[in-house]
Amino acid sequence: MRLRSSIITVIGCIAAILLLQGRAANGQNADWTRPFPPVKIIGNIYWVGSYDLSTYLVTTPTGHILVNTGVGATAQQIKASVEQLGFKMADVKILTATHGHWDHVAGMAALKKMTGAALVVSEPEKELLESGGKSDFRFGSVESSWFEPVKVDRTFKDGETVSLGGTALTAHRHPGHTKGATSFTTEVRENGKTYRVVIANLGSINPGVTVTGMPAYPGIQQDYARTFAAQKAMTIDVFLASHAAQFGLHEKYKPGDAYNPDRFVDPKGFMDAVARLEKAFLDQVLKELAAK
Ligand SMILES: [Zn+2]
């Protein structure tokens, strides 16, 4: 009995530590599903995501675009945020994503049903969305990363735009993290100024990935290298990304803060993030080559 209660105490402690570290028992980050009120970022771009997982609402006179959906459970939060801003889910005409991992697209099937919008993703990401994550080179065999498969209506190539109602999001293929990972750029006019906005898919490396090449992704090293070079050559003002933590949303904004179009202007933050991740990539390449 005493042994059993000790084991229960130990399990309880581990659970408490995991919760304190912001990790739910299933390995997901608790910040992924923690609700967060919507934020007007700049012009027609709003944050309607959870505390950490980005969902961007881009509004236009003829309908709206949603970029990313979070995990499936966040779909209802996204709906609540869109409606809190005074917009209608029925006016969402296009759904798209920075990359096809479950923490950014697992809610896509639910949001597609909710809105009837067309799902438009980069060409290499189509299979990933339609297989519900099973075709991913790293997580394809990891059941906990699967999600409800969803039909892709259209695809775009590198440099093409996702356009609606006078707003164009230019797609930049930034592969490595996934084969079709995409950053989007657009320009927003506000207070007589033009702001260049990036929704960046940064080149982070997932645990278990061999960056010098994997059977399911032989060209991964060249892709990552090309992505870092392309991102270093970008000139941007407003820095946004797939996760709040990547661009410091919670350092730059607290609920209740007044709207300020300059709040998320951070070209240095973008360059620093790219440089930090490129260094991590190059370090990992050296480590892998030394181990071979
Ligand atoms: Zn990912």
- Altogether, the residues listed in the chain come to a count of 292
**243: in domain:** yes
189 CA distance to ligand 1 centroid (A)? 31
Tell whether 227 is covered by a domain: yes
Q: Is 75 helix (H, G, I), strand (E, B) or coil?
A: helix
Radius of gyration (C-alpha) of the chain in whole angstroms:
20
- Cα of 9 to ligand 1 centre, how many Å? 35
Cα end-to-end distance, the chain, whole Å: 50
Query: What single letter denotes the amino acid at residue 137?
Result: F
Distance 30 CA to ligand 1 centre (A): 16
Task: Measure Cα distances from 100 to 21, 125, 130, 235, 257 in Å.
Answer: 26, 6, 10, 25, 32
- Does residue 3 sit within a domain? no
CA of 105 to the centre of ligand 1 (A): 10
* CA 225 to centroid of ligand 1, rounded, Å: 17
Q: Is 88 a member of any domain?
A: yes
Within a 10 A sphere around the Cβ of 100, how many other Cβ atoms? 31
Residuewise pLDDT in 10s, the chain (292 residues): 444 555 444 444 444 333 333 333 334 688 888 999 999 999 999 999 999 999 999 999 999 999 999 998 899 999 999 999 999 999 999 999 999 999 999 999 999 999 999 999 999 999 999 999 999 999 999 999 999 999 999 999 999 999 999 999 999 999 999 999 999 999 999 989 999 999 999 999 999 999 999 999 999 999 999 999 999 999 999 999 999 999 999 999 999 999 999 999 999 999 999 999 999 999 999 999 999 8
Q: Is the backbone of residue 33 left (phi > 0), alpha (psi -120 to 50) or beta?
A: alpha
The rounded Å distance from CA 99 to ligand 1 centre is 7
Domain CATH code at residue 150: 3.60.15.10
- Are the C-beta atoms of 239 and 267 separated by less than 8 Å? yes
Name which of 204, 292, 281, 291 is nearest 247 in CA terms: 204
CA of 130 to the centre of ligand 1 (A): 16
Nearest 10 degrees: Cα torsion 234, 236, 242, 244? 140
Residue 216 forms part of a structural domain: yes
Rounded distance from Cα 103 to ligand 1 centre (Å) = 7
d(CA 286, CA 255): 43
Q: Which residues pair with 39 in a beta bridge?
A: 47
For the entire predicted model, the pTM comes to 0.90
**Which residue range is the domain that position 187 belongs to?**
31-291
In a domain, 121, yes or no: yes
Which H/E stretch holds residue 95? Answer: strand 92-96
Q: What distance in Å separates the CA atoms of residue 53 and residue 256, rounded to the nearest whole number?
A: 20
Whether residue 126 lies inside any domain: the answer is: yes
- Structure tokens given for 53: 């997982």
The structure tokens listed for 70 are 């979070």
Q: DSSP for 215-265?
A: TTBTTHHHHHHHHHHHHHT---SEEEESBHHHHTHHHH--TTPPP-TTTTB
Q: Please enumerate in sequence order all residues whose Cβ is within 8 A of that of 199, keeping only pairs 6 or more positions apart, or say none.
A: 54, 56, 67, 98, 169, 183, 184, 185, 240, 241, 242
pLDDT at 11: 45
In angstroms, the CA 273 to CA 267 distance is 10
- Per DSSP, 37 falls in state -
- Tell me how far the alpha carbon of residue 222 lies from the centroid of ligand 1, in angstroms: 18
Residue 93 within a domain:
yes
How many domains does the chain fold into? 1
